[in-house]
Each structure stands twice: as structure tokens, then as C-alpha cells.
Structure 1
Amino acid sequence: MHESGMRLRLGQILTEKGIKQRQLAEMLDVSNGYVSQLVSGKRQPSPELLLQLSQALGVTPTHLMEPSRPVAVAGRVGAGNTVELVDSYAKGGGLFYVAAPEDLSPSGIVAVEVRGDSMSPLIEEGDIIFFSRYFHGIDEDVVGHVGICGTEDGRAMVKQIKFGRDTGTFDLFSVNPNHPPEYGVKLAWAAPWRRIIRKRDVELIEI
């Protein structure tokens, strides 16, 4: 994790100007991978590169940057660990704040931190998962896929979710073979994830 209050609007500006990432890489004499990391927010430009970017795109350095959009991390979900998801975002707070991915609006999005290793290497401890807060019951789009779910006994988990043998139950599977499946679990809700940000790439924001 790293702290920041600004983000690069590079992806948006490239789209507005109809410039491909490979074209920008040629203009700056850098690799396509480096430009991709700038667009995704995994890397931040040096002051010198920011000036080069602004000159290449015909915009001011100030126009290239904008304040990061904060999303409160509402709680934690278990990936092998038993945790309780406390959605404190509606109350105006959270465990901490992270920057919303560029392609997601902070409105209506819940962010949670992963605890445990049952979904490793797909999802690791400390990763941040974003999903829609406007879910009602079980979103059928998540069945057969990895999603966020809450059990009727109050646990919050990230698992692969499948229909159970008995009506109204679900079977929950891990990626890590050291964690056995749970069968016949009754869920209060389940929702598909929208984005996963690796722990090393999470941008913390002070509010």
C-alpha cells in the first residue's frame, strides 16, 4: 500500500484524444508496459515525465492530475479466516480509505479487505475487493463464480459459490487446496466482485 492524494487521468485523456497506448509509448520513447502501468495507476510519473506527458498530449500538467476519489473500506472478508463484515461506509466512516479504480465510480461501491489465504493465489491477504453495495439477496450472476457473500450466521467471505444439493443452500469452494469446501451453507446475500486491487497497488487516501 502507498499513500497518495492525486491520480493521473491518463486513460481518460488518451480516450478523449483518440490516442492509443502504444502511440504514446512511441512518443515518449518508453515501453508499452510502462505506459500501461501509468494508465492503470500502478506507477506514478516523475515530475520530468509528467512534463513530457503534458507536452506530448497538449495539456497542462495540472490537467493531467486530479484528486483521487476515495472509497471507504467498509470491513474485511474472510478467505479462510472467519470475519464479520461491518459496513460502516453508510455512517460516514470505514477502516481506512482507498482510491477508487479509474473505471469505477465511487458511488454505490463497497470496498473490503481480504483476510486469509484460502483463495490464494487468485486473491491474496491484504487485497482490496470492490463490489456493488446495491445487492438484494443472492445475485444469480455470482453463482458458479468467485464472489463476496454473507452467511446467515453473520460471516463474510470471498469464495467460489455454487448451488448446494438442498434448495436454498450453497456450496463454497476455495482455490487453495489446504482449505476444504463448505457444503450446504445458507447465504443471506452474495454479490459479484467488480475489481480486485493487489495489496502492493492499493492507494491509501487520508480524509
Structure 2
Amino acid sequence: MDSGDIIAANLARLIAEHGTNNRAVADDAGLNPTGVRDIITRKVKNPTFATLVKIAEVLGVGVEEIVGGSARSLTRHMIAVAGRVGAGASVPLMDSYEKGDGLFHVVCPPQISPHGIVAVQVEGDSMSPMYQPGHILFYSRATHEGIPSEDIGLPCVVEDANGMAWVKQVRRGTEPGLFHLISLNPNSESAWDQRIKWASRVLLAIPESMVGRE
């Protein structure tokens, strides 16, 4: 039984124990009408951590009661939020590696493996509505220099040539070695033809209020 099966089974049991139904829980959690049913039937194979937190709050239980068999890994694997990345704000890179220390620690969401994962927090709103101030971004450094070709065109955590950290959509620039750092907020400026030290795509983004924190 994989983690998705465990979540589905525990969720069905908890709903029955609380004398409610899938539709009522989905409505109270602010999900679409079939949101809970889709998790139980495995139509949604990897529900987000934020969704599980909302459902747990409706049922009046801890999210670990839904995660069940994955609870030990959920509570064991804490990830340091190593620093902040600018989304419109200019933020110096504090720590580009996972070293165990950081601003604070968050629980590794069940959708990703904790191995090699780094977390950072968004400051500024240039990537709104995709990423809001305070969002926790999870990424993994695939390379110490440059950017993997498959990450070009995607939202990435970026360290520019001046040691500043950003979250931007990265596109190829007008010359080799240069990149456009694109803001998604139409009221924010983008940076054109920039040199970067490295960039890695964002694997997962969660509002700070939706992650377990120490």
C-alpha cells in the first residue's frame, strides 16, 4: 500500500467516524465538490499538503491522522528554510545549500522526497499570483553552475551574478550565457539579458500558513 492508498483509506475512515460525507467535507474545506471523493477514489493520486491540512481542520484532527502510515516520514523530515528569494525585492542569497540551519524549519511535504531539497521564502510580489509573499518554495540544485536546459522557461530560484537571490521565470537571453528573468506580475519589472550563477526550477510552492513549522 503506497502513501496515496494510506491517505485515501484514512480519509474515508475519518469521514465515516465523524458522521459526515465527502461532499460536506469538501465544501467546508473550500474544495471543489468532488475534491475529497477524488482523493478517496485515487483519481487524485497526490493531494497537496495544503489540501490535506484544510481537510484535517474540517475534521478536527491533525494532518498526521490522514497521512497515517507516512506520518513518521512527515514528522521526521524537517527542511531548513535557508533564506529568502526576491520576487520584486532585492534579497542577498543567505545560503544556497541545505545545511540543517536556516530562518526556520518546515515539514517536508509528502509530494516530494526530502533528499537534496532546499526551501526558501518569497519576499515581494513580482511573481503574483503564482507565488505570494511568504510562500515557501522547495527546489533541488541539479547543477552548481548555470541552469539545466529542461528548467529554461520555468519558474526558478536564481542566484544572479551579484549574489542576489530571486524567483523568476527564466528564459534565454539575446546572447549565449544571458537570460531574461521574467516577472509574472504585470505591474512588476523583468530583468533582461542577465548573467546568472545558477538556477533551479521550483518543485513545489506552499503558503507559509499551510506548512508544518518549527
| TM-score, with structure 2 as normaliser | 0.72
Deviation digits for residues 139-169 of structure 1, max 9, x if unmatched? 2122112111111111110111110001110
In the alignment, which residue of structure 2 is the partner of 1:98? 106
**Cα deviation, residue 25, structure 1:** 8.2
Asked if 1 retains the 8 angstrom alpha-carbon contact of 2:178 and 2:196, the reply is yes
- Counterpart-to-counterpart distance in 2, 1:172 and 1:141: 16
Aligned amino acid, residue 148 of structure 2 = D
Secondary structure of the equivalent of 1:200?
helix
Asked if 2 retains the 8 angstrom alpha-carbon contact of 1:172 and 1:185, the reply is yes
Larger relative strand fraction: 1
Q: Which runs of 5+ in 1 are unaligned?
A: 1-10
Aligned amino acid, residue 22 of structure 2 = S
Deviation digits for residues 100-159 of structure 1, max 9, x if unmatched? 111212120000000000011110000000001343321212211211111111111011
Residue 71 (1) aligns with residue 79 (2): yes
- Counterpart-to-counterpart distance in 2, 1:30 and 1:41: 16
**Cα deviation, residue 30, structure 1:** 2.4
**Cα deviation, residue 44, structure 1:** 6.5
> Which of 20, 28, 31 is 2:22 aligned to?
31
Alpha-carbon distance change, 157 to 73 in structure 1, aligned in 2, over 3 angstroms: same
Residue 130 (1) aligns with residue 138 (2): yes
> Which of 76, 83, 87 is 2:91 aligned to?
83
Secondary structure of the equivalent of 2:213?
strand
**Cα deviation, residue 41, structure 1:** 3.2
Aligned amino acid, residue 142 of structure 1 = D
Moved more, 140-149 or 108-117: 140-149
- Counterpart-to-counterpart distance in 2, 1:143 and 1:24: 43
Moved more, 78-87 or 28-37: 28-37
In the alignment, which residue of structure 2 is the partner of 1:5? none
> Which of 6, 15, 18 is 2:5 aligned to?
15
**Cα deviation, residue 27, structure 1:** 4.5
Residue 41 (1) aligns with residue 49 (2): no
The CA RMSD measured in Å over matched residues stands at 3.4
In the alignment, which residue of structure 1 is the partner of 2:212? 203
Query: How many residue pairs end up in the alignment?
Result: 186
Asked if 1 retains the 8 angstrom alpha-carbon contact of 2:107 and 2:211, the reply is yes
Alpha-carbon distance change, 74 to 102 in structure 1, aligned in 2, over 3 angstroms: same
Asked if 2 retains the 8 angstrom alpha-carbon contact of 1:38 and 1:45, the reply is no
In the alignment, which residue of structure 1 is the partner of 2:124? 116
Asked if 2 retains the 8 angstrom alpha-carbon contact of 1:76 and 1:112, the reply is yes
Aligned amino acid, residue 135 of structure 1 = T
Alpha-carbon distance change, 164 to 102 in structure 1, aligned in 2, over 3 angstroms: same
Aligned amino acid, residue 184 of structure 1 = D
- Counterpart-to-counterpart distance in 2, 1:132 and 1:80: 22
Identical amino acids, percent of aligned pairs:
34
Alpha-carbon distance change, 176 to 203 in structure 1, aligned in 2, over 3 angstroms: same
